[in-house]
Amino acid sequence: MQLYDLELSGNCYKVRLFAALAQIPLDIVAVDFLAGAHKKPPLIDFNPWGEIPILVDGEVVLRDSQAILVYLAAKYAGESWLPRDAAGLGEVMQWLSTAANEVQNGPASARLVDKFGYALDKADTLKRAARILPLLDAHLARHPWLALARPTIADCAVFPYVALAPEGGVSLADYPHIRQWIARVKALPNFLAMPGV
């Protein structure tokens, strides 16, 4: 099973982190991002969107980090990481949407501007970060983990770009419950770091 990966990508790190925590073996294939390998064959055929991560597991080819988390959890991990009952699935799913939208377009995009020079509207990314982080902090003031009172793929999906927020000029100083949650994630057995986390 291959993960087409970029070490500095938080989206790729979501997958590496979960695979480490759940002890799922992955063949990490480093993508030559600067050369645009993700925009050319064979990767553009795996993912016409020209993005990574991409997971290839035999016949299964998946784009989108959240979808890859769901697949890996459903196929290779216990229900602890992704419940199969409707209420549990729905609760986890809420946070996968948060990762795909609010976190991606907030702190993750602020980092794309500061660290990689992307031509995005920095003010807009900061405004979005300033909306989502207090909501996240308030949630984590009342819950140790994002969903279900235990670590799930919800945490793996949201953690990377929140922990990397300072690299986009977004301070976590005002969010003590987020910082405590980051410490809890880092203390999980088999936790895997990345540069900046």
Q: Which of residues 121-140 bind its own copies (CB under 8 A)?
A: 121, 124, 135, 138-139
Interface with its own copies includes 85 (CB under 8 A)?
A: yes
Span of 23-31, 55-63, 170-178, 182-190 interacting with its own copies by CB under 8 A? 55-63
CB of residue 64 to its own copies, shortest distance in Å: 5
Token duo for residue 50: 């020209």
The Cα 160–Cα 154 span in angstroms is: 11
The pattern of x and - marking residues 140 through 179 that bind its own copies according to CB under 8 A reads ----------------------------------------
Side-chain half-sphere CA neighbours of 161 within 13 A? 31
* Per-residue burial over 98-137, b = 16 or more CB atoms within 10 Å of its CB, e = otherwise: bbbebbbbbbbbbbbbbeeeeeeebeebbebbeebbeebb
Interface with its own copies includes 23 (CB under 8 A)?
A: no
Interface with its own copies includes 60 (CB under 8 A)?
A: yes
CB of residue 186 to its own copies, shortest distance in Å: 26
Token duo for residue 6: 């970029």
**Checking DSSP bridges between strand 60-63 and strand 2-5, what pairing results, if any?**
unpaired
The Cα 18–Cα 157 span in angstroms is: 9
CB of residue 101 to its own copies, shortest distance in Å: 5
Residues near its own copies (CB under 8 A): 48-49, 59-60, 62-64, 66-68, 70-72, 74-75, 84-87, 89-91, 93-94, 96-98, 100-101, 104-105, 121, 124, 135, 138-139
